[in-house]
Amino acid sequence: MNAATTPGLSAAEASDRLARDGPNELPATARRGVWGLLRDVVLEPMFLLLVACGAIYLALGDRHEALMLLGFVLVVIAITYVQKRRSEQSLEALRDLSSPRALVVRDGQSIRVAGRELVVGDIVLLAEGDRVPADLELVEASNLSIDESLLTGESAPVMKQAEGSASDANPDACRQAFSGTLVTQGTGRGIVTATGERSALGRIGASLQAISTDATPVQRETQRIVTWVAAIGLSLAAGLALAWGLTRGDWLHGLLAGLTLAMAILPEELPVVLTIFLGLGAWRLARERVLTRSMPAVELLGATTVLCVDKTGTLTMNRMAVRRLWAADAEQVLDGGASPDLPEALHPVLEYAVLASHRRAFDPMESAIGEAGQRQLAGTEHLHGNWALIDDYPLSPQLLAMSRVWQSPDRQDRLVAAKGAPEAVMDLCHLDAAQHAPIARQVEAMAREGLRVLAVARAIFPSGTLPDAQHDFDFEFIGLVALEDPVRPDVPAAIAECRAAGIRVVMITGDHPQTALSIGRQAGLIADGHAVTGPELDRLDDAGLAARLADTNVFCRVQPEQKLRLVQAFRARGDVVAMTGDGVNDAPALKAAHIGVAMGARGTDVAREAAALVLLNDDFASLVTAVRYGRRVFANLRKAIAFVVAVHLPIVGLSIVPLVLGWPMMLMPVHILFLQLIIDPACSIVFEAEPLEPEAMRAPPRRPDARLFDAQVLLRGFVQGSGLFGIVLVAYLVARSASGSDETARALAFTVLVVSSLALIHVNRTWTRRRDASRPWNAAFGWIASATCVLLVLVLWVPAISGLFMFTTPSASLLLIGAALCLGALAWFEATKWLLGQWAR
């Protein structure tokens, strides 16, 4: 089979085979079905308490109250079920997004598809860093080696060869690439022979988990608080039931009062709120083309103090183009079109740069060189489509240069083309100081313009056994190729936003120092400064490196293993580090960073698997967007918690006061349930949907150990809730004094509590002193407020319903007093917001 010319499967053939054989995936971990999820919802403590209250009403003979209470239970269960199901569906969508992808040939075109869509007969293209998506029979391989330790336990990579050229000793092993293994070097092309459970990985029952479900620090803190409050609440509820029964002799009503207090205190909203916030936060980031593979990343983003980013494709466009060619006696600037007057002296520079590149290029620089060669050398003898590739010497950390050996049809000797970092190529050519100096000056001049400079060399080698190393060729230096990768237009503004937010941006690149500094200046990363190079890093001890980190934002000529040391050094300083990477060797640094960020388009599968975030657009602005969302999630969680604390205080107070003062019960379980219809959606939907505060990206990052339940949040909730309790109590006393009716007093107090709770939501949507007129309206709050008001009108004015709530409709004058008290509550909330804002400063 000719792999170079085959068009691969058609889309229709692939679709038919996918329907026949099923997706290329292993059996997933069992997920909760409809009934399993419903069972988990029904068995939550809040609903068990409600069912117990319904049973007590039946025992008291209040059948209507029992049926209405149980009806409300069904409504709340439905709402909770829908919220949890939506969260699970979001996570399932994220799992699908984070599945490995594969580059395949279909209908003659190279396209990238989800790994699960591969079918037998597909042609898959492999490159360094890819995870093999299915079992393949190789039909083309160039210096291809694969790490098969996942299957064999052997750590040494296995060299692979194409069909027809494999070793006689073990031809099948050399020609096969197995699902789940990792390409560590070279490129290849293979035909899918087995997918899913039929692959080697499927046969041994291995399973990949795409999303970590470990508890985050905030989740652990929330669980601790919920457990603590629940224990106290249940103790108080038991005490209230006992005291009620002993003082009044009415044990059933005492038990009902105790259960009501337990419902009032139990903070069952908090775990739900946290789950929905993190799930919806990840979903919102996915809509911004940022895939969250680890939930702690959402939580930690707001605490990030250092962003370590690479240059190519993150700060720049990653669309390389050849802009300048240079030889000892000629130079030419290219504008992207064909240059008919390209000097003959420069033809070999471009000719051997093309020969030193892959014909099917994955690298943007090689693609640009190939395109320039086709434009500038068209119609000349310098393009060699009929030359045969004999061997190649790949780039290595020890030598930043690569060579490819070619055989011409009309000569015995082999021609060797090399390209790479200028200093590496000059070393290959063994240039003396006099020859070295003018080339180095030219490289520096090009680099100062922000150009990426490669040197080109050639050699002639007789037929026979090739040497083991590139240094054994007798290279002749030819010239320089300078490429441009412009800074992304949105990068300077994004870096300025990071600086205003107290976030430091550090560029780590393998480029020449002058190129790195030029890009740094264009991006607004530095005004004028210096760079630390990889060799300098090697000479620095840990103390010396720590001293240099304080004032260095550009690191260049950095090897992948040095990125790990930089990340660890920043962490040792107490920074919260986000690190971008795309290569196989970047994985340790991505794992070591607090937040590893992989490139979705150009990144390797192993980098994506090691990362917590994947930037599907590969640009820096997406990373800043992720940081902005991280701050938003944490800030809105604090608002939701302050609201939960504030709204529970009057509920708890109104449950205890009747026992202390000898009054009848002010709040029944049905009233608590009605309030839950406001509290749960407000916490999980209204506050989550709030945009970031305008000044949030002008404030320094929060401390990584900052707590959700800190003094500011708890004090805000306590002050607001205490004021609300006092206002509702005044409403009850005024109505009871004016009407002499407990039912009327209960109705007015409940009305003031409900309307004031809506005011509390509105005030806590933002903690700034003045509301921004341009701040978008929260549609979720509008719907919840409207629905609550409609239900409240039904409860007050429909006799059948008000009777179930044990209400008597208040008079118009009492309702006006209630409205005045609600305005007073609003004023109190705004006043406390201003006072606490002053205190926080």
Q: pLDDT tens, 534-563?
A: 899 999 999 999 999 988 999 988 887 788
- Cα distances from 251 to residues 243, 244, 653, 655, in angstroms, run 9, 7, 21, 16
| Mean pLDDT, the chain, integer | 79
In the sheet that holds 290-292, the strands lie side by side as 290-292, 613-615, 595-599, 577-581, 306-309, 504-508, 554-556, 532-533
Rounded to 5°, the CA angle 694-699-705 comes to 120
Q: pLDDT tens, 778-812?
A: 888 888 889 899 989 999 998 888 887 888 999 99
Rounded to 5°, the CA angle 815-819-823 comes to 165
**Confidence at 297, pLDDT banded by 50, 70, 90:** confident
Predicted pLDDT at 347: 92
Of residues 310, 392, 427, 485, which has the active-site annotation? Answer: 310
Predicted pLDDT at 585: 62
**680: Cα separation from own chain's centroid:** 26
Predicted pLDDT at 336: 60
Q: Which residues contact 777 (CB under 8 A, 6 or more apart)?
A: none
| Cβ(310)–Cβ(580) below 8 Å | yes
> Above pLDDT 90, what percent of the chain?
23
Closest to 250 (Cα-Cα) out of 425, 59, 109: 59
Predicted pLDDT at 671: 80
pLDDT at 825 over 90: yes
Active site residue 341: no
Tokens at 232, concatenated: 């106290």
| Cβ(179)–Cβ(122) below 8 Å | no
Predicted pLDDT at 492: 92
- Which range is most confident: 178-187, 283-292, 299-308? 299-308
Q: Which range, of 68-72, 117-121, 468-472, 634-638, averages the lowest pLDDT?
A: 68-72
Predicted pLDDT at 192: 93
pLDDT at 225 over 90: no
Helix (H, G, I), strand (E, B) or coil at 109: strand
Q: Which residues contact 267 (CB under 8 A, 6 or more apart)?
A: 225, 226, 229, 230, 644, 648
- Cα distances from 530 to residues 446, 553, 555, in angstroms, run 17, 8, 9
Predicted pLDDT at 443: 92
414-420 and 290-292 strand pairing: unpaired
Q: pLDDT tens, 752-765?
A: 999 999 999 998 88
Mean pLDDT of 652-668: 78
Q: pLDDT tens, 357-409?
A: 988 776 778 888 998 898 888 878 888 888 989 988 887 767 889 999 999 88
Mean pLDDT of 822-830: 93
109-114 and 388-393 strand pairing: unpaired
**Confidence at 428, pLDDT banded by 50, 70, 90:** very high
pLDDT at 293 over 50: yes
- Cα distances from 517 to residues 307, 320, 329, 513, 797, in angstroms, run 17, 18, 28, 6, 73
pLDDT at 457 over 90: yes
Mean pLDDT of 243-255: 68
Predicted pLDDT at 223: 62
